[in-house]
Amino acid sequence: MSAEPAPLPQELIRVKRDGARLAPREIGALVAGVASGALSDAQVGAFAMAAFLNGLDRDETVALTAAMTASGVRLDWPDVDGPVLDKHSTGGIGDAVSLLVAPAVAACGGVVPMIAGRGLGHTGGTLDKLDAIPGYVTGPNLDVFVRTVRSAGCAIVGQTAEIAPADRRLYAIRDVTATVESIPLITASILSKKLAAGLSSLVLDVKTGSGAFMATTKRAEALARSLVEVAAGAGLPAVALLTDMDEPLACVAGNALETRHAIEILAGRRSDARLMEVTLALGAEMLLLGGLAPDAASARSALEAAFASGAAAERFALMVAALGGPGDIVERPATHLAAAPIVRAVTPERDGVVSGVDARALGLAVVALGGGRTGADDAIDHAVGLAELAGVGEEVGAARPLATVHARDEADAERAAAAVRAAYRLAASGEPVRRPPLIQERIA
């Protein structure tokens, strides 16, 4: 008996375009074509748009996740000394949590093989931040990745060629086809990489607010539940936290700026309350899922001790050196990280208190400076961005700017300054301002 012929990809795209359901075999055929290159970029984009507009049900999402996981190798960690843990953020502005939480959890006994992503749309990407470190290889071969995890306890890298190659291609095409926000596609993208990494558990940071892809709490909660439920269906214990992205998480936005900011925090030379609060909350969930702490208070204390003692900084330095970066990055970040030639303060048009921020507009301002991509293959200027960003509730005026712009030239600086002013809403000085809770919900 002859084998059943493979379905034509254009017919499968038509099925989803018309709102019908795809069977697991049909989804598997599409994913195989994505991974092999048999599907053109136009066909992959068409499938992504059809899925975005008509959705994928839970079974289709599980099938897509499984097919993308199976498109490459699946790692195993039989002899590591500790639970294999990870976290993933859905993306935002000023979110350098990965650079802090991975080495801190490693210092507490976890093993963290973190497969991270690049910036999508208006958001920053962890790999773009690490690319700002000279010599750091965000795309190592599998042997180097595994060796770094074993020696440093953590490694933050992109997808190697062997891990979920179908997702790697689909991820890049989603970024430039306005299909980033699809809950099923996000779910399958995140979980396929995490399942391929051989995790024992996963913590998810799902952002909500103006700077998030899921701007409304309802959409963010739907994504969080999708991630937790599909992960559970795949045998991966997971917890999700809904966190606020109605303003930047840190006071900086931009690749080298955020990397240096994280290093200064690791070294104990700087603090950032909002960034650290999310870092500690996510890290505590990781330790709890991994059985490395008996309760949340103990987990948080262990992480705080890892930062205070320098153990987290030591793990970060080991990771950077093992992946090709300078051995003294923690001691001398300014020596190694690029700086923009133009730095300009952005003062508000009037004094007042910050009552709101369009975080997405700030992210787009960074992209316009050259710190993000408008095309899949665009080069990034790691030096540019925004620093000293004022937070909600802060008094601003001539003595306290809204931000400082780090730009390549004066024209870029002027455009960014105008974008920053437009992104901020001010109330009269002394007027009470409401700030939403930073951590809004826990979903398990």
Active site residue 129: no
Provide the token pair at 331: 């001691």
Q: Which tokens hold the place of 306?
A: 């890892």
Q: Is 89 an active-site residue? A: yes
- Strand ranges inside 68-153, DSSP E: 85-89, 112-115
d(CA 349, CA 328): 42
Q: Which of 61, 65, 88, 168 is catalytic?
A: 88
Strand order in the sheet with 201-208: 85-89, 201-208, 238-244, 439-443
How far is residue 357 CA from its own chain's centroid?
20
Residue 260 a catalytic site member: no
The catalytic position among 189, 208, 226, 404 is 189
Q: What is the largest CA-CA distance in the chain?
A: 81
Query: Which one from 61, 69, 89, 210 is the annotated catalytic residue?
Result: 89
State the catalytic residue, choosing from 69, 71, 86, 207: 86
Count CB atoms within 10 A of the CB of residue 379.
Answer: 8
Mark whether 193 is an active-site residue. Answer: yes
Q: Which of 169, 194, 373, 382 is catalytic?
A: 194
In the block, residue with structure tokens 């490693």: 106
Cα–Cα dist 80/94, whole Å: 32
The active-site residue out of 61, 123, 126, 187 is 126
Of 122, 174, 373, 382, which one is the catalytic site residue? 174
Is 189 annotated in the active site?
Answer: yes
Query: Exactly one of 16, 87, 168, 274 is catalytic; which is it?
Result: 87
Whether 88 is catalytic is yes
Q: Torsion-angle region of residue 96: left (phi > 0), alpha (psi -120 to 50) or beta?
A: alpha
Q: Are strands 112-115 and 238-244 parallel, antiparallel or unpaired?
A: unpaired
Backbone conformation region of residue 82, classed left if phi is above 0, alpha if psi is from -120 to 50, else beta: left
CA atoms within 13 A on the CB side of 123: 29
Angle between helices 255-266 and 97-107 (to 10 degrees): 30
- C-alpha distances out from residue 348 to 360, 401, 432, Å: 19, 7, 19
Q: Annotated catalytic, 174?
A: yes
CA distances from 284 to 250, 261, 269, 436 (A): 19, 22, 23, 22
Active centre residues (catalytic): 86-89, 126, 174, 189, 193-194
